[in-house]
Amino acid sequence: MEFEQHTLRNGIKVIHKRVNSSVAYCCIMVNTGTRDELQHEHGLAHFIEHVIFKGTKKRKAFHIMSRLEDVGGELNAYTSKEETVVHATFLKQDFTRAVELITDIIFNSSFPDKEIDREREVVIDEINSYKDNPSELIFDEFEEMIYPDHPFGRNILGNKRYLKKFSKKDIINFIARNYNTDQMVFCSVGDIPFSRVKKLADKYLGCQQANLRKQDRVIVSNYTRSEITKRKSTFQNHCIIGAAAYDLQDPKRIAMHLLNNILGGPGMNSRLNIALREKHGYAYDVESSYIPYTDTGVFTIYFGTDKTNFEKAYQVIQKELEKIRTQKLGVLQLFKAKKQLIGQLLISAESNENLMLSAAKNFLVYPQPDDLDIVVNQIENISASEITDVANEIVNPNYLSTLVYK
């Protein structure tokens, strides 16, 4: 059974999948993230994700934290380049409680000045913690490097200089401009009739005033190839090799997902893991990732290694990239690669929380998202030639950028 769907009069999409479980999930996903910030708002989308939990018109912060936890549930949130999400996990009998709570948080947060000042220090500490972790920091600096003149390249956490200036007025203005009802999805997964989901969504979400998006996002079209080495006081060398890649609308994105999985996906049998770790012992951690966005995508290969092994590790990776560009996958290799990706996809969908969050994202991006079986069929139809073509476009040495911490 696929997701049932309904659109409220203010433009909010409501989607639901009924599953046989005593545990249920719901979220509100807003099509707003770091890329929607103005220059002086850098870090504001993420900061709002923190302070919306600090009080509403009828609840104090403690009451928000306790509302679901008192019945064994969980409440959480995250911010990405393009979305802000508040989501909840709870027993199915507490569905009304969860819907009312996350609606209250999204639409009625009061942003007390005292709480803003306190949370400002929490986020500054989060930024400091991030700077202490070069294997995470390098990803942000890589995106800043390849998108130097676009908000998409800014890191999600922001910086202390702007953070210290954020006021309640800045928060309210950002929400008014970007928390648009036609750019929201309410998604739930649980053993709840859709008729009840619609009734509660209409009661708590449908009564919210329509706020339709008027502004367009600044298009990402300025990928700049770069090679930069930075001196850092670290025990290891850290390196990212990557580039801009296909966006969420590009038909080549499916082949790109498969290519990424072959190179450095989560499997221990990925080419880079076998070449770098299993054969040579050059690296404990090597991985690749491909994240498609609305109008761009980012492909990266990351590895960390001892300084004495860096050049050897780098050359091993270059050899693997040359292989994927010049040597077509054999019939059995392609068959195994497809089965692995399909298996990972289907196993991930067994997590109802993952299913909810991915479905909410899909309904934000696509008018009618493909069912899981259609996606599986698309993967099965990828040819070896398509993999080679994508490899020659994206992992071409004349296209790839490199950032190194030494």
Please report the pLDDT score of residue 190 as a whole number.
98
User: Measuring CA to CA, how many Å separate 388 from each of 248, 334, 376?
Assistant: 20, 12, 20
- Could you give the domains of the chain? 4-204 (3.30.830.10), 227-405 (3.30.830.10)
Q: How much is the pLDDT for 120?
A: 94
pLDDT for res 368: 87
Burial of 135 (0-12, 13-18, 19+ CB in 10 A): middle
* Cα dihedral value 19, 20, 24, 28, nearest 10: 10
Report whether 325 contacts 335 (CB < 8 A): no
H or E element at residue 203: helix 194-204
Rounded to whole angstroms, how far apart are CA atoms 164 and 153? 21
pLDDT of residue 125: 93
Q: What is the pLDDT of residue 95?
A: 98
- Residues linked to residue 190 through DSSP beta bridges, in sequence order: 18
C-beta separation of 81 from 248 below 8 A: no
Burial 259-272 (b: 16+ CB within 10 A, else e): bbbbbbbebeebbb
> β-strand 13-18 against 184-190: which pairing, if any?
parallel
pTM summary value? 0.94
Asked if 340 contacts 379 with a C-beta cutoff of 8 angstroms, the reply is no
- pLDDT tens sequence for the chain (406 residues): 589 999 999 999 999 999 999 999 999 999 999 999 999 999 999 999 999 999 999 999 999 999 999 999 999 999 999 999 999 999 999 999 999 999 999 999 999 999 999 999 999 999 999 888 999 999 999 999 999 989 999 999 999 999 999 999 999 999 999 999 999 999 999 999 999 999 999 999 999 999 999 989 989 877 989 999 999 988 999 999 999 999 999 999 999 999 999 999 999 999 999 999 999 999 999 999 999 999 999 999 999 999 999 999 999 999 999 999 999 999 999 999 999 999 999 999 999 999 999 999 999 999 889 889 999 999 999 999 999 999 999 999 999 999 999 9
Please give the pLDDT value at position 142: 97
Q: How many residues does the chain have?
A: 406
- Predicted pLDDT of residue 138: 96
Tokens 């009304």 -> residue: 96
pLDDT of residue 111: 96
CA distance 43 to 275: 38
Nearest-angstrom CA–CA distance, 5 and 353: 18
Helix (H, G, I), strand (E, B) or coil at 307: helix
| pLDDT value at residue 1 | 53
Separation of alpha carbons 94 and 69, rounded Å = 11
Tell me, what's the pLDDT at 28? 98
15 and 185 in contact (C-beta within 8 Å)? Answer: yes
Q: Are 264 and 271 in contact (CB under 8 A)?
A: yes
Amino acid residing at 152:
F
Sign, CA torsion 401/217/27/175:
positive
Residues 132 and 138 sit within 8 Å (Cβ to Cβ): no
